Structure 1
Amino acid sequence: MNVVKIAQVFNNGRSRAIRIPKEFEFEADQVEVRMTENGDLLVHPVKKKSLLALLASLEPLSDEDRMPEIEDYPPEPVDLGESE
């Protein structure tokens, strides 16, 4: 699919913005904008990461940031008899 549309460019505060035509509507809160060597702008929707993907992308904790090892374990459970 190679569809070309003319889009409106406007000022939004101190930034320039592009009004995306309805035909190109997509489900995303963010886009990646890339400028090619010849000056073309490429806009790609950023897909939200799943929780597993987000957790996998996190750096492991350093030794000083880890929780200390548990040395004093809780006592063994006590049998208080049957409850009715």
Structure 2
Amino acid sequence: MSGTKARIEDRLNRVFSPQHLKVTDDSASHAGHAGNPHGRGETHFTVEIVAEAFAGKSRIERHRAVNQALAEELAAGLHALAIRAKAPGE
């Protein structure tokens, strides 16, 4: 497991206590693209998360909450984050 992936998982688990969390490193498929010009990895991730904290929230509010939770990673070089955030039962 990558260091960035582990930090993302740890932070999201602590902030949201999700029922489901899957973090996928998509960096390899973006090698040479903006944000990963040298194929160094750990720059592009997909997050699938199901948590009670998202109940009653709009898609934008959910994405903002995840981005806020991962602000340090985003500031440190995480270039792209695809987010699929749902409440339980959705």
TM-score range, shorter chain: under 0.3
Structure with greater helix share of residues: 2
Larger radius of gyration: 1
Using structure 2 for the length normalisation, give the TM-score. Answer: 0.23
Using structure 1 for the length normalisation, give the TM-score. Answer: 0.24
